């Protein structure tokens, strides 16, 4: 029996490396495996070089290489992962709570007749009975969930555990599962990728702008601050709806969820849908000229002021601080 994880990989067009969430998942799985006295097996799809996983505690990698799986299809991916789980007699299957995996995980759970818990934020509180802590009500609360099924599927919330190096002796094995053509009812026609920027999914810091920027011509303010911090850029829904920024940068409950270590909101009033989507971020900083903006009620730090005055001064101070540290 081993713990099985699905290690997500960014294709060559996006850098050709394991995603940060995969390394965090491996670190988490290793800690759980040590507690249970078992090993960690990872499944990869169309990845040639997998040795990096050994640094984070993975003992074995099942490598699937099949052109039919070159584009994400939830049913097909779920089918091959559940086949891997059965092959390894895995009682615990771990994935990250990414957008794709929140479609994928329930399908795997159904196939394995397993209990499923998403948005897990800590190591299991208990393994007998098996209990985990997860976020609830759009990250406004936590609950303790007990899983009673023999096989369990968990989806780990991003940035909830961290990346911890714990070297292992890795073995690799080619795995050829049965591919069911009926699983490909959805066809991917094209994928648009943002190149040359920090991705929102992997970012430790996110700098986000709203209508308070007054127009797309002022977006340099967001990009300049993000460049100093090594952050990803994002925006509120109205900004993407007006065409100021691409929809891929829209974060919130109806856009991309954010669980960054630091989220900076500039000129965003704080609609409930936006706050729900970024509430898992550990530290939230708000810059807004309206002292009554709803965002201030959930902020860890708030600055009431004009973004066109505050942000340039903040950038100047950060640059001076970084020079002192170098």
Predicted TM-score (pTM) above 0.85: no
Q: Is the pLDDT of residue 13 over 50?
A: no
- Banded pLDDT at 191 (limits 50, 70, 90): low
Per DSSP, the three-state class of 66 is coil
- Banded pLDDT at 298 (limits 50, 70, 90): very high
What confidence score (pLDDT) does residue 10 get?
Answer: 81
61-82 confidence digits (pLDDT tens): 999 999 999 888 999 999 999 9
What confidence score (pLDDT) does residue 192 get?
Answer: 63
Long-range CB contacts (within 8 A, 24+) of 42-49? 42/4, 42/5, 42/6, 42/7, 43/4, 43/5, 43/6, 43/7, 43/80, 43/81, 43/84, 43/175, 44/7, 44/9, 45/9, 45/69, 45/77, 45/80, 46/9, 46/11, 46/70, 47/7, 47/9, 47/18
Q: Which of 179-193, 205-219, 260-274, 311-325 has the lowest mean pLDDT?
A: 179-193
Which residues have a Cβ under 8 Å from the Cβ of 217 and sit 6 or more positions away? none
- Banded pLDDT at 303 (limits 50, 70, 90): very high
Task: Report whether 153 contacts 115 (CB < 8 A).
Answer: yes
Q: Is the pLDDT of residue 93 over 50?
A: yes
Q: Is the pLDDT of residue 37 over 90?
A: yes
- Banded pLDDT at 14 (limits 50, 70, 90): low
């Amino acid at each position: 029996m081993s713990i099985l994880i699905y290690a997500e990989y960014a294709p060559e067009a996006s850098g050709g490396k394991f995603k940060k969430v995969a390394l965090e998942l491996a670190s988490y799985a290793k800690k759980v495996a040590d507690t249970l006295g078992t090993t960690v097996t990872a499944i990869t799809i169309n990845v040639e070089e997998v040795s990096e996983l050994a640094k984070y505690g993975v003992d074995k990698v099942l490598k699937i290489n099949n052109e039919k799986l070159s584009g994400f299809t939830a049913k097909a991916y779920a089918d091959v992962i559940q086949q891997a789980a059965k092959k390894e007699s895995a009682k615990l299957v771990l994935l990250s709570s990414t957008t794709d995996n929140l479609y994928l995980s329930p399908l795997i759970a159904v196939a394995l007749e397993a209990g499923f818990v998403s948005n897990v934020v800590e190591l299991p509180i208990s393994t007998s009975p098996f209990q985990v802590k997860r976020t609830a009500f759009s990250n406004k609360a936590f609950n303790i969930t007990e899983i009673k099924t023999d096989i369990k599927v968990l989806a780990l919330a991003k940035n909830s555990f961290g990346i911890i190096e714990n070297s292992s002796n890795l073995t690799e094995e080619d795995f050829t599962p049965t591919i069911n053509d009926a699983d490909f009812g959805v066809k991917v026609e094209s994928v648009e990728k943002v190149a040359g920027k920090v991705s929102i999914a992997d970012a430790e810091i996110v700098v986000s702008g709203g209508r308070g920027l007054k127009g797309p011509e002022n977006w340099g303010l967001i990009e300049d601050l993000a460049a100093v911090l090594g952050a990803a850029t994002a925006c509120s829904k109205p900004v993407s709806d007006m065409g100021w920024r691409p929809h891929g940068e829209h974060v919130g409950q109806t856009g991309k969820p954010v669980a960054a270590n630091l989220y900076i909101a500039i000129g965003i009033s704080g609609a409930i849908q936006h706050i729900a989507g970024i509430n898992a971020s550990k530290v939230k900083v708000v810059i807004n000229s309206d002292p009554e903006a709803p965002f201030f009620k959930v902020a860890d730090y708030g600055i009431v002021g004009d973004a066109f005055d505050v942000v340039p001064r903040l950038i100047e101070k950060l640059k001076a601080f970084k020079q002192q540290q170098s």
